[in-house]
Amino acid sequence: MSLQLREAVSLKPFNTFGVDVHARLFAEARTDEDVRLALVEAERRGLSLLPIGGGSNLLLTGDVEALVLRMASRGLHILEDDGERVVVEAEAGEPWHPFVLWSLEQGLSGLENLSLIPGTVGAAPMQNIGAYGVEIKDLFVGLTALDRRSGELHEFALDDCAFAYRDSLFKRQPGRWLILRVRFALSRQAALHLDYGPVRQRLQQDGIEAPTAQDVSRAICAIRSEKLPDPAELGNAGSFFKNPLVPAALAERIRAEHADLVSYPAGEGQVKLAAGWLIERAGWKGYRQGDAGVHRLQALVLVNYGAATGAQLLELARRIQADIHQRFAVELEIEPNVL
Catalytic residue among 41, 91, 94, 335: 335
Average pLDDT value for residue range 100-104 = 98
How much is the pLDDT for 256?
A: 96
Catalytic residue among 41, 91, 239, 281: 239
How much is the pLDDT for 165?
A: 86
Most confident of 46-60, 195-209, 318-332: 318-332
The answer to whether residue 315 scores a pLDDT higher than 70 is: yes
Average pLDDT value for residue range 48-65 = 94
The answer to whether residue 274 scores a pLDDT higher than 70 is: yes
Average pLDDT value for residue range 116-129 = 94
Average pLDDT value for residue range 178-204 = 92
The answer to whether residue 36 scores a pLDDT higher than 70 is: yes
Residue ranges and CATH numbers for the domains of the chain are 6-71 (3.30.43.10), 76-227 (3.30.465.10), 235-338 (3.90.78.10)
* Residue bearing the bigger pLDDT, 2 or 238: 238
Q: Letter for the amino acid at 325? A: H
Average pLDDT value for residue range 186-193 = 92
How much is the pLDDT for 7?
A: 96
Indicate the pLDDT class of residue 227, thresholds 50, 70 and 90: confident
Do the Cβ atoms of 218 and 123 come closer than 8 Å? no
Catalytic residue among 148, 166, 202, 281: 166
Average pLDDT value for residue range 230-237 = 92
- Decide: helix, strand or coil at residue 244: coil
- 166 is known as an active-site residue: yes
DSSP string, 135-182: EGGGTEEEEEEEETTT--EEEEEGGGS--BTTB-HHHHSTTTEEEEEE
Average pLDDT value for residue range 8-18 = 96
pLDDT digits (tens, 9 = 90+) for 195-217: 877 899 999 998 999 999 999 99
- 187 is known as an active-site residue: no
- 217 is known as an active-site residue: no
Of residues 64, 43, 47, the one with CA closest to residue 55: 64
The answer to whether residue 1 scores a pLDDT higher than 70 is: no
Question: What Cα–Cα distance (Å) separates residue 171 from each residue in 161, 248, 317?
Answer: 10, 27, 21
- Sheet with 177-187: strands ordered across: 76-81, 85-91, 177-187, 140-147, 153-157
CA distance 255 to 317: 24
- Decide: helix, strand or coil at residue 60: coil
